[in-house]
Amino acid sequence: MTRSIAESAQIREEERARLGAEILSVSSAVRPGSRFLDVGAGPLSVPAARLGAQVTATSADPAVIKRLTSWAQREGLHLDARVSDGPGLPMPDRCFDVTASLNGIPLLPGMRQGVEELVRVTRPAGTVLIAAWGARRASEVLTFVAAALRAALPGIAPTLMDPGLPVQARDPQALASLLRSAGLEDVRAQEVSCSVRFRSGAHLWKAFAASNADVSLLVSRLPRSQCETVQRVLDGMLRERSGGSRGAVLLAPVNVATGIRPGQRHSAQHKEVPS
């Protein structure tokens, strides 16, 4: 039986929510009533709202904000999703208990400046959480794409998968070092192995293109016909993985680092809400 559009959307949303929940589970900072900022408006927002947090989500892409708003409405969740395409975050200092981003920091001036912006809007003793796709050698997402590129477009793959290409964080310790350099304390970092379901070769290709600003730029330079060829190859690879089904689950490491902004929370202005 063919699934309805609504059912398909619900399945995709639940997959994203599972990914976001896995990342948020690294920290216990997201609690009922906590003020939570998601830069990039990714899969962290809805799981945080499900935990009872007051969620604000930003993205430079209006379509991303529209999809997130619709998703939250279908679940009966309230969150503030807004377009933010300026050089920094349009929020005052020290207004969030938890600030987070999954692959969203490049939307800001640069990764270092982006982390500093998160720190700026985080309350004293608040938590900053940064997550980024991990080592390429351990990511089935990237190895599948690299293999499809080599098969469909010989000579293209080495350019797109060049190890010297700037990435958000090559390993957890690089991410931890970035947080420490921004002045955060009690920094912790780890690699989380996440399972991600891709519905088709086109879905996997789009996710790859959106995974990093530099990769997105390179992919955008490929002719449409070449992109479609790669997607067809990926379709075949996913079918082979799943034993004939159209989509498949791939494993991808996600580096997650958290740090605490120095300072003491003012108990008169903010009380911890028991979880």
pLDDT tens column, 1-28: 344 444 455 657 787 888 899 899 999 9
Average pLDDT value over all residues in the chain: 83
Q: Contact 263/124 with Cβ under 8 angstroms?
A: yes
Long-range (24+ apart) CB contacts under 8 A made by 182-186 are 182/112, 182/115, 182/116, 182/119, 182/128, 182/259, 183/119, 183/261, 183/262, 184/119, 184/128, 184/259, 184/260, 184/261, 184/262, 185/259, 185/260, 185/261, 185/262, 186/259, 186/260
The answer to whether residues 236 and 260 belong to one domain is no
Q: In the predicted model, is pLDDT for residue 53 greater than 80?
A: yes
To the nearest whole percent, how much of the chain has pLDDT over 70?
81
Enter the tokens of residue 95: 């207004």
- Give me the pLDDT at residue 99, please: 97
Give the Cα separation of 122 and 268 in Å (integer).
17
> Are residue 128 and residue 143 in the same domain, yes or no?
no
So what's the pLDDT on residue 211? 63
Let me know whether 226 and 103 are in one domain: no
Q: Tell me the percentage of the chain whose pLDDT exceeds 90.
A: 45
Paired residues of 101 in beta bridges: 130
Question: Residue 89, CB half-sphere, CA atoms under 13 Å: how many?
Answer: 30
> Does residue 272 have a pLDDT over 50?
no
What integer pLDDT is reported at residue 195 of this predicted model?
82
Is residue 85 within 8 Å of residue 65, measured between CB atoms?
Answer: no
Its domain, for residue 157, covers 136-165+200-246
Which of 8-12, 69-73, 186-190, 226-230 has the least mean pLDDT?
8-12
Q: Are residues 176 and 219 in the same domain?
A: no
127 and 142 belong to one structural domain: no
Rounded to an integer, what is the distance from CA 61 to the centroid of its chain? 14
- At position 76, the amino acid (one-letter code) is G
Supply angle C-alpha 54, 41, 11, rounded to 5: 95
In angstroms, rounded to a whole number, what is the distance separating the alpha carbons of residues 171 and 152? 30
**Shared domain check, 143 and 158:** yes
Please check whether residues 79 and 156 belong to one and the same domain. Answer: no
Give the pLDDT band of residue 106 (cuts 50, 70, 90). low
Domain count for the chain? 2
CATH of the domain at 10: 3.40.50.150
CA 233 – CA 227 distance, rounded (Å): 10
C-alpha distances out from residue 62 to 67, 87, 101, 145, Å: 9, 16, 17, 27
Q: What is the mean pLDDT of residues 62-75?
A: 91
pLDDT value for 269: 41
The reported pLDDT for the residue numbered 18 is 86
pLDDT digits (tens, 9 = 90+) for 161-184: 554 444 556 678 888 998 999 999
Helices (H) and strands (E) in the chain — how many of each? Answer: 10, 7
Return the structure tokens found at 11: 């399945």
